[in-house]
C-alpha cells in the first residue's frame, strides 16, 4: 500500500511538473508571438511610419531651393509606400552613420537614403526588395583627373564621404585617406574636390551624374574609365522587425510591378529607370 502511494505521488509530481513546463512553454510562445507583432501593431496603432533620411543627398533626399519641402527619389517612394500602407510618414533628417544606428536602436522604423545592400549589413538589418540598381563611379578634378587612372591610384589620395558607406570602404581598401563630413551638402563635397581640398568622391553613378550637372561651373568630372561594384539599393529596417518588412516588401513589389517606382525614377534621374539591373565590366 505504501509503495502504491509513493508511485501515485511520484506520478502526480511528474504530471504537475510536465503541466508547468507546458504552461511555461505556452507562455513563452505567446510572448514571442506578441513580441513579433508588437512593432507592426504599434506602427498601425499610431498610424505613423518614422523614416530616417539625410535631406541633403540630391536627388535621393533633399529640399528644393526656396522651399522647405523634403523631396527626392526615395522620399517620394517612401511617401507612396506609406500611402498604400495607410500610414502617415514622418521623416527625421540625420547623417548617414546616425541613421543606421537609429534604425538599429529602434528610434526610427526605417532608413531611406540610397543605402546599398551588403552582406555585412544584412547581418545587422533587414532590407526591403531592391528598387534601384546602379554601380560605383569616381568624381575627380577635370583638369588632371586628380592624378587617378585606376582604383589602385587611390592610395594616398583624400577621399570624401560617409565613414560607413560602401564607397568609403572601397576607398580605404585601396589605401585612400578618408575625409568625413557631418551630413554636408553635395556642393560642399564637390567644391572641395574642385579646389583640391580633397581628391575624389566615390559614389553611385546616377547620383554622381546629377551632382555634376547641378554644378557645371566646378572643375570636376566623372572619371571616364572607373566603373565598379554593381549595387542594389533598398530601405533598411531593424533586424527583428519582420512583420513590417513583409508589408513593406509586398507594397514595394506592387509599386515596381505597376510602374510606379519607374515613374518616380524618371522624374528625378532625367528619365532613367533605375529599377532595371545594370551589367558592367569591372
Q: What pLDDT is recorded for position 153?
A: 98
Looking at the predicted structure, is the pLDDT value of residue 2 above 50? Answer: no
Quick one: what percent of the chain has pLDDT higher than 90?
73
Q: Is the dihedral of CA 232, 167, 94, 41 positive or negative?
A: positive
Going by the DSSP 8-state scheme, the letter that residue 176 receives in this structure is: P
Q: Map residue 254 onto helix, strand or coil.
A: helix
| CA angle (58 as vertex; 244, 133 as ends), nearest 5 | 55
Bridge-based pairing state of the strands 110-116 and 48-53: parallel
pLDDT digits (tens, 9 = 90+) for 101-113: 999 999 999 999 9
- From residue 150, alpha-carbon distances to 21, 121, 122, 224 in Å are 64, 27, 29, 10
- Calculate the CA 146 to chain-centre distance: 30
pLDDT band at residue 37 using 50, 70 and 90 as cut-offs: low
High-pLDDT (> 70) share of the chain, %: 86
Tell me the domains of the chain and their CATH numbers.
Answer: 45-133+234-268 (3.40.190.10), 134-229 (3.40.190.10)
Residues contacting 1, CB < 8 A, separation 6+: none
Q: What is the pLDDT of residue 18?
A: 46
In terms of Cβ atoms closer than 10 Å to its own Cβ (0-12, 13-18, 19+), residue 35 is exposed
Residue 144, preceding bond cis, omega within 30 degrees? no
pTM above 0.85, yes or no: no
Q: H or E segment at 32? A: helix 2-46
Amino acid at each position: 500500500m505504501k509503495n502504491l502511494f509513493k508511485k501515485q505521488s511520484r506520478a502526480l509530481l511528474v504530471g504537475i511538473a510536465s503541466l508547468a513546463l507546458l504552461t511555461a512553454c505556452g507562455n513563452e510562445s505567446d510572448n514571442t508571438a506578441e513580441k513579433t507583432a508588437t512593432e507592426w501593431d504599434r506602427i498601425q496603432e499610431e498610424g505613423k511610419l518614422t523614416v530616417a533620411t539625410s535631406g541633403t543627398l540630391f536627388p535621393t533626399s533633399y529640399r528644393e531651393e526656396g522651399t522647405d519641402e523634403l523631396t527626392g527619389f526615395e522620399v517620394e517612394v517612401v511617401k507612396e509606400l506609406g500611402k498604400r500602407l495607410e500610414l502617415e510618414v514622418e521623416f527625421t533628417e540625420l547623417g548617414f552613420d546616425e541613421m543606421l544606428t537609429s534604425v538599429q536602436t529602434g528610434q526610427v522604423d526605417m532608413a531611406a537614403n540610397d543605402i546599398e545592400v551588403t552582406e555585412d549589413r544584412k547581418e545587422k538589418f533587414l532590407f526591403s526588395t531592391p528598387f534601384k540598381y546602379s554601380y560605383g563611379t569616381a568624381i575627380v578634378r577635370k583638369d588632371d583627373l586628380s592624378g587617378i587612372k585606376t582604383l589602385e591610384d587611390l592610395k594616398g589620395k583624400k577621399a570624401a564621404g560617409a565613414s560607413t558607406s560602401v564607397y568609403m570602404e572601397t576607398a580605404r581598401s585601396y589605401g585612400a585617406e578618408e575625409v568625413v563630413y557631418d551630413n554636408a551638402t553635395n556642393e560642399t563635397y564637390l567644391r572641395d574636390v574642385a579646389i583640391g581640398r580633397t581628391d575624389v568622391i566615390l559614389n553611385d553613378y546616377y547620383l554622381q551624374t546629377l551632382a555634376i550637372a547641378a554644378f557645371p561651373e566646378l572643375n570636376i568630372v566623372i572619371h571616364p574609365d572607373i566603373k565598379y561594384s554593381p549595387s542594389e539599393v533598398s530601405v533598411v529596417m531593424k533586424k527583428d522587425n519582420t512583420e513590417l518588412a513583409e508589408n513593406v516588401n509586398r507594397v514595394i513589389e506592387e509599386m515596381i510591378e505597376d510602374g510606379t517606382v519607374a515613374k518616380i525614377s524618371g522624374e528625378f534621374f532625367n528619365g532613367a529607370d533605375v529599377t532595371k539591373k545594370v551589367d558592367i565590366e569591372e
